[in-house]
Amino acid sequence: MPTHTATPTRRLDVAGDLLALLRETTTEPRADDQLAALTLAVAADLPVLLWGEPGIGKTAGLTQLAEALDLPLTTVIASVHEPSDFAGLPVVGDDPAVQGVPMAPPDWAVRLVRAGRGLLFLDELSTAPPAVQAALLRVVLERRIGALQLPPGVRIVAAANPRSSAADGWELSPPLANRFVHLQWVHDHEVVVRGLGGTWPRATLPQLDPTGLPAAVAYARRAVCGLLAVRPALVHQLPKNEARRGGAWPSPRSWEMALRLIAFATAAGASRDVLSLLVRGTVGEGPGLELLAGLDRLDLPDPELLLADPAGAELPERGDLRQAVLDGVVAAVRNRPARDRWDAAWALLVRALETGAPDLVVVPATELAALRREEWEVPAAIDRLSGAVSISRRADRVAARITLAARGGR
C-alpha cells in the first residue's frame, strides 16, 4: 500500500504494476471461424481487409495474431500518411541524369526488410483519401514501397470501418478493393466476456497435409474452371453500385485468389463455414455461393460407384445434395440402360427412403419407372416406394385444389 510519504515517481511505479497485471492474458484453443479464415488467408499470402464497426476489436485481433504467429507487427495508419509515404520520396543523387532519382522508402518499410518477416497492418483504410489509396495499390499488389521490395516473409492485413461509421470516410477504389480478401469482423459475446476475463482465442496457422497438396490444387482448379466454363459472364463483373465496387467482386485476379484459398482450405481440412467466408469475401456473395454449390457437386459420390454397390452406398445428409445424387443415378441408368442397373437404382431409392425424407424419392422414382423395358420384371422394391409416391401425389392434388379455391374466392 502506498503511504503519504511516497514520492510521485513511486506512485507511478505502482500504477505501472497494476497496468502490467491488467495486460497479463493467456490464450486457449477455440473454434472461431473468422479467426480461422484470417489465419488461412495469411498463410496463403493474400492481403486481407477486415471490415467492422469502430471498437469491435480489429486492432486487438491483429495484435494477438502477430504474437501467436511470432511475427513482428508494424502498424501504419493509412489515413494520416501522404501518397509519397508509400510511393517513396525522391532523393536526388550526384548525377540524376546517369543514376536516376531513387524513391526513398519510409523507416518502417526499412525495418520490415531488415527483419525479413513481419505483419504489416494498414489501419483506417477507408478514411484514406483517393490519392493515398492509389499509392497503396503497388504496396498491396507488388509489395513495393518506393524502391524497396518487401521480403516474402511479410504479410499484409488492413482494417476499415464502413463508410457510415467512418470519420470522413471514403469508398475504396475498385482497383484497391479487388486486391483484398474481404472479411466481416464481428464480435462474439462469449469470446469478449472470456477475453476480458483474461483468456482469448488462440490463432494458429493451418496444418497443411503435405501428401494432399497436388490433389488440393487439382480440386481447386477443377472447381473454379468448371464454374467459369459454364458461366463466362462471371469472369469479370464490375459492380454498377459504387459501394459494392469497394468490396469483393469477381475478376480474373479475385478468381485466382479464390482458387488459392480453396487449395489451402482443402489441404488444411478447413470447415465449409470458413471456406464460405473466404470465397464470398474474394469474389462476392452471388458468385461465391455459385462456386460453393459447384464444390458441393464435386464432392458428390459417383453414380456408377453407387450403382455398383447400392447396399453399401452412403448418401449425403443434406436434402439438396441427396436429390442431386438420386437424379444423377437415374441419369446414369438412362444413359446406359440395363436390367441390373435398373434394379440397383431401385435399391438406392429404397435406401434413400429409409434414411431420409420420403418426398426426395418421388421424382426420381417416377422418372426411373418410365425407363422400364417390356422384358424387365417389376422389382419388389417398387412396393416399398409406392406408398411414399402415392402420399406425395395426393398431397400435390390437395395443394392444387386449395390454390384453385383461393383463386376462385378472389
Considering the domain boundaries, does residue 270 fall inside one? yes
Same domain, 395 and 341: yes
Task: Note whether 244 and 347 are same-domain residues.
Answer: no
Least confident of 18-32, 224-238, 274-288: 18-32
Last residue of a domain, one of 298, 333, 366: 298
Residue 8 lies in a domain: no
Please report, for the domain that includes residue 48, its CATH number.
3.40.50.300
One domain for residues 256 and 155: no
Taking residues 257-284, what's their average pLDDT?
A: 95
User: Looking at the predicted structure, is the pLDDT value of residue 84 above 60?
Assistant: yes
pLDDT in tens, 20-71: 999 888 888 888 898 899 999 999 999 999 998 887 778 777 887 888 888 9
Please name the residues in contact with 282: beta carbons below 8 A apart, sequence gap of 6 or more.
181, 182, 248, 254, 257, 258, 261, 288
- Residue 340 grid cell: 441390373
Provide mean pLDDT across the span 187-196: 84
- Do residues 232 and 318 both lie within one domain? no
For residues 127 and 240, state if they share a domain. Answer: no
In a domain, residue 366? The reply is yes
Task: State the pLDDT confidence band at 92, using cuts at 50, 70 and 90.
Answer: low
For residues 56 and 191, membership in a common domain is answered with yes
Say what the pLDDT of residue 387 is.
60
User: Is residue 189 located within the same domain as residue 81?
Assistant: yes
Residue 7 lies in a domain: no
At 179, the pLDDT band (50, 70, 90 cuts) reads very high
Res 93: pLDDT: 62
Domain tally for the chain? 3
Q: Are 57 and 185 in contact (CB under 8 A)?
A: yes
User: Does a structural domain hold residue 206?
Assistant: no
Give the chain's mean pLDDT.
84
Distance between first and last Cα of the chain: 83
Would you say residue 178 lies in a domain? yes
Task: Tell whether 394 is covered by a domain.
Answer: yes
4 domain residue, yes or no: no
pTM for the full predicted model: 0.76
Give yes or no: residues 356 and 289 share one domain.
no
Boundary-marking domain end, from 298, 321, 356: 298
The mean pLDDT of 223-252, rounded to a whole number, is 91
Residue-wise pLDDT for 119-156, tens only, equals: 999 988 888 888 888 888 888 988 988 888 999 999 99
Q: Of 166-175, 292-301, 312-321, where does mean pLDDT reach its minimum?
A: 166-175
- Do 70 and 112 lie in one domain? The reply is yes
374 and 339 inside one domain: yes
**pLDDT confidence bin for 225, thresholds 50/70/90:** very high
Q: Are residues 321 and 399 both part of a single domain?
A: yes
Shared-domain flag, residues 223 and 189:
no
Which structural domain range is residue 384 located in? 303-408
